[in-house]
């Protein structure tokens, strides 16, 4: 039912994929409209909070403290979850996580599962593994359902179908749900999805979820959502399997007080998520009879070991950085070649050991800092981007053109004499390439080699004929 998953190992690199996305005017309009709406809502509800910056700092401290003591809190979570009747499984990587989950679903006697929206299951491409094992996954989040029925891929962490407009969604529902007379009002689409899903909720006996937070102190698993579909998946099936990255743990129940204020405001511009579900173990009188939690590493301990990249793990997946990013707003999510798109994808995907993408994703940013400003847990994304760019340059060895160019520039900037000589040489070298416009201003429309990346999409203004220092000197001499 689902399209082929976005796999960083096989997806085209960002510059190539972005070129294709930029040609799709409808996609760009959809992404821009949706991100504008969410950003405006976020700005309104954030402005209501006089202590927003203090909250951000508290969020950062909670996440930082957790990462510094991750082993302790994971063990505490395992002990408390087990005590409450849950079963905790540890998965080293995506393959192991898939194998455990497929095994658990088979053991539950089911060949179908209902799924709650989860980026972790997208990360490990669980749906294709389930389908390969003869198990049919049904997405129950409205946006994920649109993606699944449209044989598409998510393009945003929080709003996976953000690149689709209402008309496109209607066409998918008409075709896949066999509803030729379906209306186009939002309530018509919501009704169609509700009827389609209700039958699955009542029939399917096994549920698979992700987790927004794992609470070490209680062994509880927390899901926040807007539609109530998640709560149906958590309460109706007989077997519930939650899969979460090890970075999802928080130490105390009370930490949610901070995170529950930061996450919905940053994600969807809501003051509070309509549904906050926390469940702990099993209860003989109610809910699933079997409850499993798969704790997955999948390169997270490597990220943790990198002192500068570690802050990436503080992410609470709100997607605010995506909405604010001028690069994401032009290309949408698919160009990033991974389920994690936008600024967080640009730093997370390469660290999830996809070095193929490390060559391009850390460069998919203007370094404007908008992502850092909106991040509710103050992840300094530009800092991590630079750190990763540095790694890419080092990996490419001493013959790397960029490393050589930077070294040369470093030498030039260290000496005024060399700097002035470089300016003179630059002016001479550019002279044959300069074309004058009607105002007499000089522009360069073509540059050779690596520099040509700039002139491929815009013209470069010629260097000024007089430097500031020369102008200043002249001004002093003439006394004007
Ligand atoms: S990096 Fe920050 S802004 Fe981006 S998704 Fe994560 S928490 Fe949200």
CA distance 11 to 1: 20
Q: Ligand 1 in contact with 321 (CB < 6 A)?
A: yes
* DSSP 8-state class, residue 286: B
DSSP 334: G
Closest listed residue to residue 196, CA positions, set 131, 136, 130, 149: 149
By most ligand atoms within 8 Å of CB, the mutation choice from 377, 382, 384, 385 for ligand 1 is 377
Q: Is residue 450 exposed (0-12), middle (13-18) or buried (19+ Cβ within 10 Å)?
A: exposed
Q: Whose CA is nearest to atom 4 of ligand 1?
A: 321
Ligand 1 pocket member 159 (CB < 6 A) = no
Which positions ≥6 away from 225 have C-beta within 8 Å?
A: 116, 117, 141, 231, 273, 274, 275, 277
The CA 139 to ligand 1 mean position distance, Å, reads: 24
pLDDT at 246: 98
Residue 265, ligand 1, Cβ within 6 A: no
Centre of ligand 1 to C-alpha 320, Å, is: 6
Report CA(248)–ligand 1 centroid distance (Å).
13
Q: Does residue 376's CB lie within 6 angstroms of at least one atom of ligand 1?
A: yes
Query: Contact, 223 vs 240, CB < 8 A?
Result: no
Q: Which of 162, 312, 376, 378 to mutate to test the pocket of ligand 1 (most atoms within 8 A of CB)?
A: 376
| DSSP E strands, 4-109 | 87-91
Q: Name the strand (E) or helix (H) holding 95.
A: helix 94-107
Give yes or no for residue 324 CB within 6 A of ligand 1: no
Q: Is the CB of 316 under 6 A from ligand 1?
A: yes
**Does ligand 1 come within 6 angstroms of the Cβ of 317?**
yes
Is the distance from CB of 293 to CB of 223 less than 8 angstroms? Answer: no
Q: Are 384 and 303 in contact (CB under 8 A)?
A: no
What is the reported pLDDT for 475? 86
Q: What is the Cα–Cα distance from 80 to 464, expressed in whole angstroms?
A: 68
241 CA from centroid of ligand 1 (Å) = 26
Instruction: Tell me which residue has its CA closest to atom 6 in ligand 1.
Output: 315
Which among 266, 264, 201, 263 is positioned nearest to 228, based on CA atoms? 201
Alpha helices in 238-380 (DSSP H): 255-268, 300-305, 320-324, 328-331, 342-351, 355-358, 370-374
DSSP letter at 157 equals: S
Protein residue with least CA distance to atom 7, ligand 1: 315
Distance from residue 462's CA to the centre of ligand 1 (Å): 39
Closest ligand 1 atom to residue 342 Cα is 4
Alpha carbons 209 and 339: distance in angstroms, whole number: 16
Helix (H) or strand (E) holding 209: strand 206-209
* CA dist list (Å): 64 to 60, 360, 378: 6, 28, 10
Q: Return the sign of the alpha-carbon dihedral for residues 121, 124, 128, 131.
A: negative
CA 300–ligand 1 middle distance (angstroms): 16
Residue whose CA lies nearest to ligand 1 atom number 2: 375
| CA nearest to 385, candidates 369, 374, 399 | 369
DSSP characters for 110-128? -SEEEE---HHHHHTTHHH
Pocket test of ligand 1: the residue of 57, 318, 323, 384 to mutate, having most ligand atoms within 8 Å of its CB, is: 318
pTM: 0.88
Which pLDDT tens digits describe the chain residue by residue (480 residues)? Answer: 445 567 888 888 999 999 999 999 999 999 999 999 999 999 999 999 999 999 999 999 999 999 999 999 999 999 999 999 999 999 999 999 999 999 999 999 999 999 998 999 999 999 999 999 999 999 999 999 999 999 998 889 888 888 889 999 999 999 999 998 899 898 999 999 999 999 999 999 999 999 999 999 999 999 999 889 999 999 999 999 999 999 999 999 999 999 999 999 999 999 999 999 999 999 988 899 999 999 999 999 999 999 999 999 999 999 999 999 999 999 999 999 999 999 999 999 999 987 788 889 999 999 999 999 999 999 999 999 999 999 988 888 777 787 888 889 999 999 999 999 999 999 999 999 999 999 999 999 999 887 888 888 889 999 998 888 889 988 887 665
Which amino acid residue places its CA nearest to atom 8 of ligand 1? 318
**Does the C-beta of 319 come closer than 6 Å to ligand 1?**
yes
Q: Which of 35, 105, 89, 155 is nearest to 293 (CA)?
A: 89
- For residue 5, what pLDDT is reported? 66
At 480 the pLDDT is: 58
Please tell me if the CB atom of residue 384 comes closer than 6 angstroms to any atom of ligand 1.
no
Distance, CA of 2 to CA of 122 (rounded, Å): 11
């Amino acid at each position: 039912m689902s399209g082929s998953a976005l796999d960083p190992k096989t997806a085209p690199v960002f510059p190539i994929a972005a070129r294709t996305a930029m040609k799709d005017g409808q996609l760009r309009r959809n992404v821009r409209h949706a991100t504008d709406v969410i950003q405006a809502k976020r700005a309104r509800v954030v402005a209501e909070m006089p202590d927003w910056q203090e909250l951000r700092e508290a969020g950062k401290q909670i996440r930082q403290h957790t990462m510094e003591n991750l082993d302790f809190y994971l063990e505490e979570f395992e002990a408390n979850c087990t005590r409450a009747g849950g079963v905790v499984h540890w998965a080293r990587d995506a393959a192991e996580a898939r194998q455990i989950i497929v095994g658990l679903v088979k053991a539950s006697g089911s060949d179908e599962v209902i799924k709650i929206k989860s980026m972790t299951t997208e990360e490990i491409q669980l749906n294709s593994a389930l389908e390969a094992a003869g198990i049919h996954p049904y997405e129950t989040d409205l946006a994920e359902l649109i993606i699944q029925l449209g044989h598409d891929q998510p393009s945003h962490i929080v709003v996976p179908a953000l690149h689709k407009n209402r008309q496109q969604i209607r066409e998918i529902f008409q075709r896949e749900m066999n509803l030729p007379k379906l209306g186009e009002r939002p309530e018509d689409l919501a009704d169609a999805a509700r009827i389609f899903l209700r039958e699955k909720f009542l029939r399917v006996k096994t549920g698979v979820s992700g987790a927004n937070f794992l609470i070490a102190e209680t062994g509880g698993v927390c899901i926040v959502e807007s539609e109530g579909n998640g709560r149906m998946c958590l309460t109706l099936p007989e077997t519930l399997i939650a899969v979460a990255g090890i970075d999802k743990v928080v130490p105390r129940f009370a930490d949610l007080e901070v995170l529950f204020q930061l996450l919905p405001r940053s994600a969807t511009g809501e003051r509070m998520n309509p549904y906050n579900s926390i469940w702990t173990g099993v209860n003989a009188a109610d809910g699933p009879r079997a409850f499993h939690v798969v704790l997955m590493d999948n390169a997270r301990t490597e990220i943790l070991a990198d002192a500068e990249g570690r802050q990436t793990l503080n992410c609470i997946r709100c997607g605010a950085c995506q909405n604010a990013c001028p690069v994401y707003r032009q290309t949408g999510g698919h160009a990033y070649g991974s389920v994690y798109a936008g600024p967080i994808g640009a730093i997370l995907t390469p660290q999830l050991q996809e070095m193929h993408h490390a060559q391009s994703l850390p460069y998919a940013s203007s370094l404007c800092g908008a992502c850092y400003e909106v991040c509710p847990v103050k992840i300094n994304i530009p800092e991590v981007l630079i750190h990763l760019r540095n790694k890419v340059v080092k990996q490419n060895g001493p013959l790397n053109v960029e490393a050589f160019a930077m070294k040369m520039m470093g030498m030039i900037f260290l000496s005024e004499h060399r700097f002035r000589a470089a300016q003179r040489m630059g002016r001479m070298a550019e002279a044959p390439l300069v074309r004058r416009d009607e105002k007499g201003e000089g522009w360069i429309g073509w540059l050779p080699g690596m520099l040509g990346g700039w002139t491929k999409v815009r013209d470069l203004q010629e260097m000024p004929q007089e430097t500031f220092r020369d102008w200043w000197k002249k001004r002093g001499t003439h006394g004007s």
